[in-house]
Amino acid sequence: MQREAFFQKVPCVTLRSETEWIELLPGGHNRLACPMNESIVEKAEEALSSSSDWSIGLYGDGHSSETIAQAIIDYR
């Protein structure tokens, strides 16, 4: 749900001590909160009061298949 939250431009708090989607952490799009810890409330409050930059293209522009197809055509 971390990437899905990013695509929907919704801040995310992940109740884990680590994540596979580390690229979402520096911009504040995702925050980690240790399960069963008071940091959950703190991280949720941070997420709700933040203003992350959602315009960054972490996952491309949605046109990768077109770019790949054109590269194959041009290669011939």
Number of neighbouring beta carbons within 10 Å of residue 45? 11
Give the pLDDT band of residue 52 (cuts 50, 70, 90).
confident
Rounded to two decimals, the pTM is 0.67
Give the CA-trace dihedral at 4, 6, 9, 13, to 10 degrees.
Answer: 90
Tell me what the pLDDT averaged over the chain comes to. 90
Number of domains, the chain: 1
The parent domain of residue 22 ranges over 2-75
Is 90 exceeded by the pLDDT of residue 35? no
What confidence tier does 25 reach under pLDDT thresholds 50, 70, 90? very high
Give the chain's length.
76
